[in-house]
Structure 1
Amino acid sequence: MKPQDILKEKSSLWVFGYGSLVWKPGFAHRGRKIGYIKGYKRRFWHGDDFYRGDKENPGRVVTLVEDQEACTWGVAYEVTDSQVEECLQYLNMREVVLGGYIIETVEFIPKEKGQCPLLALVYIATSDNPIYLGPASDLQIAAQIAICSGNTGHNIEYLVRLAEFMRLHCPEVEDEHLFSIEAAALNILPVCGEIKPPDQKSPLPGTV
């Protein structure tokens, strides 16, 4: 699916974010909803050689992996009228050109009771992407995250900010993959003298 094809059909749409989009969408939007999608699990299996890493040391960022028993929590943003074109152009550069993600359509289920499911666009990096890294142990992923940084900052910032979002907005959800990697990475940080845990009072830059 290409942005120009979406524009032909939509004067408004929803975009689902499950990584850095949950705290830094980077585009104007009319509203947002916390919620989840079914059939996918979030995994730190995608490489990032621009935002949170470089060509020699790619960072690790999240993508979605199909799993019929799983669900992934995040934020859906509503964009309308002129926001649609601006949003899609921005995300095409951020997610597709620089991130290697493709666009899919999913059913988003709002957390707030009484609200109907809605269709949303989502960006997913698949295994045929040249910078896709694939599965690894939590410790291996944490060790990679602990040493990588890119144009928008350290990879650990991405990890910590995502975990903070889940604790704040989805406290009832136990994201074992995310929290295990976070714990392992924060344990590794004191060993790396040049790296310090991010100041959680300061705004952290986003990435793909």
Structure 2
Amino acid sequence: MDTVSYSINHNVNYYMRNAYRGNTNAITDDYRGSQPKAKIISADARAVKRMAEKLNSLEYDSDHGLEVLQNAKAFVKTYNNLIESTEDNQDSRLTSLKKKMTKMIKNNKDDLASIGIELKGNGSLTLDEDKFGEARPAKIEEILSSKGNISVSLRSIANKIFRQSGKMAVYTSSAEKTAQDAEQSGKTVDLSL
């Protein structure tokens, strides 16, 4: 790996850790696979919200190109994590919010593609670093900062997903407690919602 690639990846990891501050373990596959879904969704939603805020505060000029690229890569990773963690959830409100988020991205896919961020068939994003690097800083700012609607909308939707994941955690732990109590008393309880 060349020095430039190492520097970019190292700094992307820094921005990922910052986005997941308070629960940096949520970046690792092992942790993600071993924790309750609500906990991972909560961490991912908070990370997307933080990345949307970061995209609003960046300096979009040629002097800050590497920082913008690193933050864009971290944004794509956090967004993809949220897409993955909200997959196959049983909460209808969460499903509705995910659909709203993916619809907003689809509505802006041409703008995103013009700066190298492509929407894949499964709803996730990819970043073409070469195309992103060739885009004018003003164009990137127009699409990713608060001048456009993507980061503002994502921040709002991610915040709603975060709040809903907290309710999901309460439902899950409440249902588990009810099941344990019923098991201990020998009674059966219908936990279907």
User: TM-score scaled to structure 1, two decimals?
Assistant: 0.28
User: TM-score scaled to structure 2, two decimals?
Assistant: 0.30
Larger strand share, 1 or 2 = 1
Q: Which has the larger radius of gyration?
A: 2
